[in-house]
Amino acid sequence: MIVFTLDAGGTNFVFSIVEDGKINPKKIHKPANGDNLEKCLKNIIAGFEELATINHKKPDAISFAFPGPADFKNGIIGDLHNLPGFRGGVALGKMIELWFKVPVFINNDGDLYAYGEAMGGTLPFINNLLKNSGSNKSYSNITGMTLGTGFGAGIVSNGELLQGDNMCAAEIWITSNRANPEYNSEEGISIRAVKYFFSKFSEIPFSDCPEPKEIYFMATDENNKYSIEAQKAFYELGRYLGDAIANIITLTDGIVVIGGGIAGAKKFIIPGIKHELNREFKKLDGRTNKRLTHKVYCLNNERELTNFLQDDKKLISVPYFDNINLEYYHIPKAAYMFSNFDTSEMISLGAYFFAEKQLKKTNT
């Protein structure tokens, strides 16, 4: 099975070929030209046509990620902030379907990232580790979070992508946040957030702040005069992210995987996450309760990974039938992990597996 994919960002478009679940290393790059609809559409057509030249075979489907808001089910793109040429609504999916005469599927990039991690990335990776450690435990629920220009997410349960009635599920960027309730989550989990936090701690005007990559290098250089301020910037982002992780684990009872450009600074982000996960809630009677029912592990930490993989089940007997024992997993375990896989490739894999599933439904 061959699927042509596109990871559409506000600045660049990256086109890929996925054949039988494997990504062709040859990719096509095109500028988005997001403020000029005609140029943008021609670049999309040209990108897929160039993939056809590389592949020498007609694809079984075209499946790709595009920013929202959009009616993804019907392939209609709405009013985009980064691609203003699409404002008013553009029937992008139908146009590509008629042009290339193959089925076309469009989804949010956060959704496809989560689906890629669920079907061919972190989720099978974790389940294989559990199996190899001798545990009978396995996981089927995962939330994929992407940290970059914005804060995105997708939720997959038992191999099904949660899309919602309006194709707007997992719009995590607009959720409230305990770290600072005056702002939504994305204001603390994004490129601009890192710069804002660094500006606050360093007292450098925001307009003069470096990009997160440079702030990260400052954080790693103990001799840099802004090293502490840079570390604090990522720690603050971690607090926002930790709150989001706690809320998602409470709702989905599964794994959280994190990708995107800012994720490379995980060394400095994880302490902030831990701070939020370990906070308590106050009760009206003056007592407190733990933030989470679960025991949550960071799988990027070797010690925590080892503890997560331990098979903590115990045997309990059935009342009045002492000769019958059942396995009891008495500790609810959840985990988060900064992905070992490339984010863009996970989006491409997600697009492939989504198309595969839809085609199977059509053919049955």
pTM higher than 0.85 for the full model? yes
Q: 255 forms bridges with which residues in the sheet? A: 142, 335
Q: What pLDDT score was predicted for residue 232?
A: 98
Inter-residue contact 80 to 34 (CB < 8 Å): yes
Q: What pLDDT score was predicted for residue 84?
A: 87
How many other CB atoms are found less than 10 A from the CB of residue 250? 13
Q: What pLDDT score was predicted for residue 10?
A: 78
How many other CB atoms are found less than 10 A from the CB of residue 91? 14
Q: Which tens digits make up the pLDDT trace of 342-355?
A: 999 999 999 999 99
Q: Which tens digits make up the pLDDT trace of 11-62?
A: 889 999 999 999 999 999 999 998 899 999 999 999 999 999 998 889 999 9
Inter-residue contact 17 to 54 (CB < 8 Å): yes
* Neighbour-count burial of 245, counting CB atoms closer than 10 A to its CB (0-12 exposed, 13-18 middle, 19+ buried): buried
Q: What pLDDT score was predicted for residue 57?
A: 84
3-state secondary structure the chain: CEEEEEEECCCEEEEEEEECCEECCCCEEEECCCCCHHHHHHHHHHHHHHHHHHHCCCCCEEEEECCCCEEHHHCEECCCCCCHHHCCCECHHHHHHHHHCCCEEEECHHHHHHHHHHHHCHHHHHHHHHHHCCCCCCCCEEEEEEECCCEEEEEEECCEECCCCCCCCCCHHHCECCCCCCCEHHHHCCHHHHHHHHHHHHCCCHHHCCCHHHHHHHHHCCCCCCHHHHHHHHHHHHHHHHHHHHHHHHHHCCEEEEECHHHHHHHHHHHHHHHHHCCEEECCCCCEEECCCCEEEECCCHHHHHHHHCCCEEEEEECCEEEEEEEEECCCEEEEEECCCCHHHHHHHHHHHHHHHHHHHHHC
Architecture of domain 122-340: 2-Layer Sandwich (3.30)
* Residue extents of the structural domains in the chain: 2-107, 122-340
Architecture of domain 2-107: 2-Layer Sandwich (3.30)
Q: What pLDDT score was predicted for residue 79?
A: 85
Inter-residue contact 6 to 15 (CB < 8 Å): yes
Weakly modelled stretches of the chain, pLDDT under 50: none
Domains 2-107 and 122-340 alike in fold: yes
Q: What pLDDT score was predicted for residue 237?
A: 97
Instruction: Read off the tokens for 205.
Output: 């005007």
